[in-house]
Structure formats: structure tokens, C-alpha cells
Amino acid sequence: MEQFKNNVKKRIDYLGMEIAWMLREHGKTVVGEVSVKQLLGGMRGLTALVCNTSYVDPYRGLFISDYAIPEFEDKLPEEIFYLLCAGKFPNETELAELQEELAFRAELPDYLWTFIRQLPRHLHPMTMFSLCVLALEGESVFKQKYEAGELGKSEYWEYMLEDAVSLLAKLPALAAAIYRIHLLREEPMDYHPSLDWGSNLAHMLGVNPELSFAELVRLYMVLHCDHEGGNVSAFTSRVVNSALSNLYYATSAGLNGLAGPLHGLANQVCLRFIRGIHERFGESPGTDQLDAFVREELDAGRVIPGYGHAVLRVTDPRFTAFMEFGNRHCPNSPFLQTVKKLYYVVPNILKTYKEGKVANPYPNVDAISGTLLYQFGISHFDFYTVMFGISRTFGFCAQSIIALGLNQPIIRPKSVTNKWLMDALERAE
């Protein structure tokens, strides 16, 4: 893994030089302002973080480093992790080295198998997943080195990288064990060292032997891997890690944020929405029926799940990538057909609804991702958030590695009271 570390260090050194220059030459330059609406509205749209792993352009979608989705959607999850950390895709030798390292570290410790089997069956799979990641915390090399007083600040990122590779290596076996033992009530499948990381996850889930399912899992992992630093799960994970809590703590925390219905749970909500349409109109609803149904939902004060986005102002390119996959592999799926019809109907309604006040009337990735998982045999809705969490862990890890490599401090923004704000507004008049 030495070449991987060398490439990550090169990126950290380059970013560090940029930061040093900006602080030296422009440390007091104002680059933005904050409104009362942002203070009281969850900091929505407030520029207050630097994230060097990914960013979201309102009109072009997700970028990993400088690569847009069409440039990386065909890559393996291992390649995406390399890109997140090193800012470049691995060459053939570098990829093989990382894959060998992941395979070497993939085995779950015996105590974790015991822990998984003893988990209460009534727990949500995401709760199980978060608990199991937390249960691995004792494996942290960073923690062991830090507590032994063997780490200098300049070495923090190296041992975060060690922990990241170990954690990511274990996620296919861990997640698949939860799915098979607690949801399917079946025994786990063996890990295959000859398969790549994503293919192993697909194989170990054991729900669909088709190569297209492995392709869907690969695509799902790639498209959900990271999404800037300000989303709930990434921000939570980064805040926890900024206190030098190790990656197991930080990942578990990020997963807990991802579990909310306004974040990672949204794909389940979207699929339930489509199933509700099928229950009412059958599996081939007409566009007129969908138009009336959508307006009925909006008039009742309910949102249309899967539509709108905090940053994007166009159709989410991740949605487009999944749609292209569906058109290739399951074009006749009733669920996919309904997704397509909603794509035709919903934006036109939202553009004019309530005088066109919807900032983004177009679909996001949640509008289709759960539909494809269901089509290919993942029939337990509660597991969809785990799939999201497996992928987003790549981003959690990479963001923490880069941040610690740059010696970024503990995250501690200032908060104020209503009275402070009222007084400030009076003084401003």
C-alpha cells in the first residue's frame, strides 16, 4: 500500500501549499456573508466548509476531484476510493495493490460474528450496521498508536488511511451477514478473494446470481460514495473525527445521521410511493392518472419523494446514470416504467405549483435507486439505507484522511441565542 500512501501524501502536500498561500495572502479576505434566514434555516447554502474530495455543481452534478459522473460511473469502488484520497485514478499496478490489501483485510473477527448473531432481530438493519462498525472500534490502529504516544501530528492521516482500508475491506462481509442472518434468516456466503470489492458484496448478499446485479451494486456504490462535506452524514462523521475520534466512531456517527428519512432513508420512501401508485392504479398507470395523483398529494400538503435537491437545479446526473442502467438491463420493469412516467409528469407540475416556487422540480437519485434494488431482488426496504451507508463510508473515510493530512482543527462553530440575534438586528437598523 506504499504507492497509495505516497500518492495521498502528494495530494495532501499540494493542497497544504495552496492553503498556506491562501492563509498568508488572504487570511482576512471575506468570501461570503451570512443571512438571518441561513442562521435560522439549518445553515442551508452557507459556505462554511472546505471539502477536497468532492463537490456538487448546481447544473452539472457530482464531481469526484475534477471528474464528473460520466467520467467515473464505469469505475470500480476501489478506484473511486483511490480517486477520493489521491485525486487520481490508480493505474493497473496501484489498483491491484489496493485490491490485494482489501482482500487480505476482509475477514471479520470471531467476536464480531458472535455479536452479529446475537443482535435482536427487531432492530433496524441500519442500527445493526452502525453497532457493528462501532464494535470494530478496538481494531483501530490509529487509536492504538495514539494511546501509546507513538503518533506525531504529521502521521495522523497515515493511520486513518490504515483504518479506512481495514474498515472498507470488511463492509461487504459485515453488511451481507446482517442481510442474510437477520432478514433472510439464512447463513452467510463466503468471501471470494478472486472477486473485486463490489462483486464480492453482490455475491455475498446472495439474492441474484446475474452479472447485471453485480453491475448494479458496483454502480450504486460508485454513485453514492460522496457528496460534498455539508450533508448530514458526511458533516457528522467529519465533526466527530475532527476531535480525533477514530474512523470507527466517526463512521458509526455518520451512519446514524444517514439513517434519517430526510437523508438516506429517502429511497425507501420513494419506492413506497411508487408501490402506492401501483396499488391504486395497477402496474401500468396512465400519465393522466399520475398527474391527478401528484396534484392530490401536493394539495394535501405532502411532498413528492425523490424530487428536489438542496444544491442541484437540474436532473440529478446520478438519476440519469441509473436510468440508463435500467434501460439496458430491465427496460420492461413496471417500477422503472412508472419512474419514467413520473419523470415526464412531476417536473411540469412542480414548475407551476404555488407560482413556481419549487427551486428544483427535477428528480434526484432517490427517485430511482430503490426501485432498481427492488427489481433485482433486494426486497427488504430497510436494507436500502445500509447499502447507501456502505457506499458513503468511502467518502467519510476519504474526507477524514485528507482533513487530518492538512492538520485541520477541531470543528467548533460559534452559536448564538435569539436574544443575541435580535440585539444584532436592532444595532444594524
Provide the annotated active-site residues: 263, 309, 366
Cell, residue 339: 419512474
DSSP string of 296-357, one letter each residue: HHHHTT---TTB--SS-SS--HHHHHHHHHHHHH-TT-HHHHHHHHHHHHHHHHHHHTTTT-
Residue 45 backbone zone (phi > 0: left; psi -120 to 50: alpha; other: beta): left
Contacts of 224 by beta carbon, 8 Å cutoff, 6+ apart: 318, 365, 369, 387, 388, 391, 392
Assess contact for 77 and 171: CB atoms under 8 A. Answer: no
DSSP character at residue 383: G
CA distances from 424 to 199, 412, 420 (A): 56, 21, 6
Assess contact for 230 and 49: CB atoms under 8 A. Answer: yes
DSSP character at residue 363: B
CA distances from 136 to 59, 120, 129, 228 (A): 40, 18, 11, 26
CA distances from 132 to 193, 388, 398 (A): 22, 16, 20
> Rg of the chain over CA atoms, in angstroms?
22
Letter for the amino acid at 138? Answer: G
Strand partners, 363: 307
Q: Which of helix, strand or coil describes residue 57?
A: strand
Strand partners, 67: 64
Cell 458496483: give the residue: 218
Instruction: Count the neighbouring beta carbons within 10 Å of the beta carbon of residue 225.
Output: 26
Q: Which of 106, 341, 76, 353 is nearest to 220 (CA)?
A: 76
Helix, strand, coil percentages for the chain (3-state, nearest 5): 65, 5, 35
Cell, residue 150: 507513538
Q: What angle do CA 159, 160, 164 make, to 5 degrees?
A: 115
Q: Which of helix, strand or coil describes residue 64?
A: strand
